[in-house]
């Protein structure tokens, strides 16, 4: 029987609805909407699309948003100054600096300048460390979205084998820690992993975040496994494909995310959730 398709668009819509309801509750209680500042430096077209989508999502959730569009010639000090001003701005609860930044600006320095309590991307070392030691924190949006999708399949993670392919700081590592926190037995794979297909075949939950179109084949998947495909690869100009060979995998897996329409829509939805929760946390 083909796998259940995990509908990321529908799950993301329900998360955004919840965020909108929480934002309304916040406005009612504190007399203003939660606020997000989005900073973009330079004119990278992909970054521009992401920023526009984030602003649109804010409008849909009744979250106040403001954009700070800076020229590519902005110095590191100028950007750090802006971040500090936003940290101190009482109508702003979340500060997001769109990455990548121009080469002359240190992304690490900028991320570290964002107040951890306003770090809605969950990239600040304080939030990363809190995630690592199991303390409450703003969690990075894509991994948090992946966990939400896994939960909605109804799988009980305790004691299950989870394999994560990819060890990036923004997806692979944090999602591995989140799976571990829920008592899965986690294996993290990367470009030097030997016999990757065999490792993947052990997974009850397989999360793939590599950036290689259709790398994971149907016979790498344990029958009935939950497969989360994070990859977004443009092939042949426009078409978006994942890291998993969907047509093969759907015949073997128990549940699988499509690309597009799986993990992709979850990232912005979790960002909305983080903004609202950061706003409430600042008042507690």
What residues line the site for ligand NDP (CB under 6 A)?
A: 142, 165-168, 170-172, 189-193, 196, 209-212, 230-233, 263-264, 267
Measured from the CB atom, the residue of 35 and 174 that comes closer to ligand NDP is 174
| Residue nearer to ligand NDP on the CB measure, 33 or 241 | 241
Nearer to ligand NDP, 189 or 244 (CB): 189
Tell me which of 54, 173, 222, 273 is the catalytic residue: 54
> Closest approach of Cβ 92 to ligand NDP, in Å?
24
Nearest to 199 by CA among 178, 218, 183, 221: 221
| Closest CB to ligand NDP: residue number | 168
Residue 165, both tokens: 């392919």
Q: Which is nearer to ligand NDP, 35 or 172 (CB)?
A: 172
Angle between helices 172-181 and 125-133 (to 10 degrees): 30
CB of 228 to ligand NDP, least distance (A): 10
Catalytic residue among 62, 93, 119, 121: 121
Alpha-carbon distance of 272 to 61, in angstroms, equals: 7
DSSP string of the chain?
-PPEEP-HHHHHHHHHHHHHHHHHHHHHHHSS--EEEEEEES--HHHHHHHHHHHHHHHHTT-EEEEEEE-TT--HHHHHHHHHHHHH-TT--EEEEPSPPPTTS-HHHHHHHS-GGG-TT--SHHHHHHHHHT---PPPHHHHHHHHHHHHTT---TT-EEEEE---TTTHHHHHHHHHHTT-EEEEE-TT-SSHHHHHHT-SEEEE-S--TT-B-GGGS-TT-EEEE---EEETTTEEE-SB-HHHHTTT-SEE--SSSSSHHHHHHHHHHHHHHHHHHHH-
Whichever of 185 and 232 has its CB closer to ligand NDP, that residue is 232
The CB-of-188 to ligand NDP minimum distance in angstroms stands at 9
Known catalytic residue at 109:
no
Cβ proximity to ligand NDP: between 7 and 89 the closer is 7
**Is 217 noted as a catalytic residue in this protein?**
no
**Residue 98 is among the residues annotated as catalytic for this protein:** yes
Please tell me which residue in 62, 93, 98, 118 is annotated as part of the active site. 98
**Shortest Cβ 33–ligand NDP spacing (Å):** 25
Write out the catalytic residue numbers.
Answer: 54, 98, 121
């Amino acid at each position: 029987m083909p796998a259940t398709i995990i509908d990321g668009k529908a799950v993301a819509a329900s998360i955004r609805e919840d965020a909108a309801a929480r934002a309304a509750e916040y406005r009612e209680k504190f007399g203003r909407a939660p606020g997000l500042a989005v900073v973009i430096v330079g004119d990278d077209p992909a970054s521009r699309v992401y920023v526009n989508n984030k602003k649109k999502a804010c409008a849909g959730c009744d979250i106040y948003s403001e954009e700070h569009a800076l020229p590519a010639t902005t110095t590191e000090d100028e950007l750090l100054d802006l971040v500090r001003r936003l940290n101190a701005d009482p109508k702003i609860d979340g500060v997001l600096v769109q990455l990548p930044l121009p080469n002359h600006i240190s992304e690490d320095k900028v991320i570290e300048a964002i107040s951890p309590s306003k770090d809605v991307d969950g990239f600040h070392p304080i939030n990363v460390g809190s995630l690592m030691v199991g303390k409450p924190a703003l969690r990075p949006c894509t991994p948090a979205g992946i966990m939400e999708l896994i939960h909605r399949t109804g799988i009980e993670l305790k004691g299950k084998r989870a394999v994560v392919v990819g060890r990036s700081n923004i997806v692979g590592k944090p999602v591995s820690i989140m799976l571990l926190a829920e008592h899965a037995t986690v294996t993290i794979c990367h470009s030097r992993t030997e016999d990757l297909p065999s490792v993947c075949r052990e997974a009850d939950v397989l999360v793939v975040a590599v950036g290689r179109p259709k790398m994971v084949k149907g016979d790498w998947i344990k029958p009935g496994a939950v497969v989360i495909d994070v990859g977004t690869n443009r092939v042949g100009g426009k078409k978006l494909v994942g890291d998993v060979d969907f047509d093969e995998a759907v015949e073997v897996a128990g549940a699988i995310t499509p690309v597009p329409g799986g993990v992709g829509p979850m990232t912005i939805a979790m960002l909305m959730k983080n903004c609202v929760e950061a706003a409430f946390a600042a008042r507690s």
